Structure 1
């Protein structure tokens, strides 16, 4: 029974985090002129990769006392904030007009994300060094 109760708590926590992350993404889409461009989506995905890597690297070095923060921030906020399905739709739309731009978008999104993860891991590890 207690195990099921924990799943329900995590479900609520993820849902709240997802609402926050999705709302933040929506707010960015309202930026005049650039809010609906594919570059905003790429930036959101890069930022999400960076933040998730920072968070993951930090949590891997601290105790489990932050365990409820993991689904709230990682799956909820960052998962709700990033936009994989939007990225795929935009790739399809770009490819219908110009394959080179669509290919560049894929390349820069993926490799930019990899760079952000590596930067984020380094930052996350430094957080633990500062707090100890």
Structure 2
């Protein structure tokens, strides 16, 4: 299967962004653990939710910005940075009660970060998406 020139450029943008996001995720792994929960993973998922929500809302208002930037940042950097599959494995490893609490904290914290990202765009004078 041959990709079009546009698709090839987008693929390169995703690879480059994934390289940066994955590298950043790797570096977060050097932070010390706090207690038994993998707090680093929660922080990565929350900040990933915040950044992706902000990016989406911002791009919806700034249509003149090339779509390639959304692909590079959203799919590439943030896709490489967030760790959903890691989170699910860690939920499983926590045991029933602790895993459930960890999952609830991650999901509702992520939801809050999405709301915060939308609010930040609105606060900066942009219209809510």
TM-score (norm 1): 0.86
Q: How many residues align?
A: 123
SS of 2:65's partner is helix
Task: Name segments (4+ residues, structure 1) moved above 6 Å.
Answer: none
Please give the alpha-carbon distance, in whole angstroms, between the structure 1 residues aligned to 2:117 and 2:10. 25
Post-superposition shift, 1:33? 4.2
Structure 2 residue runs of 5 or longer lacking an equivalent are none
Q: Does 1:19 align with 2:16?
A: no
Please give the alpha-carbon distance, in whole angstroms, between the structure 2 residues aligned to 1:83 and 1:49. 11
Please give the alpha-carbon distance, in whole angstroms, between the structure 1 residues aligned to 2:33 and 2:85. 22
Please give the alpha-carbon distance, in whole angstroms, between the structure 2 residues aligned to 1:7 and 1:66. 14
- More off after superposition, 19-28 vs 116-125: 116-125
Please give the alpha-carbon distance, in whole angstroms, between the structure 2 residues aligned to 1:125 and 1:18. 28
Post-superposition shift, 1:82? 0.2
Native 8 Å contact 1:21 1:78 kept in 2? yes
Matches within 5 A, 1:27-106: 27-34=27-34, 38-95=38-95, 99-106=96-103
TM-align CA RMSD: 1.8
Q: Does 1:115 align with 2:120?
A: no
TM-score (norm 2): 0.88
SS of 2:61's partner is coil
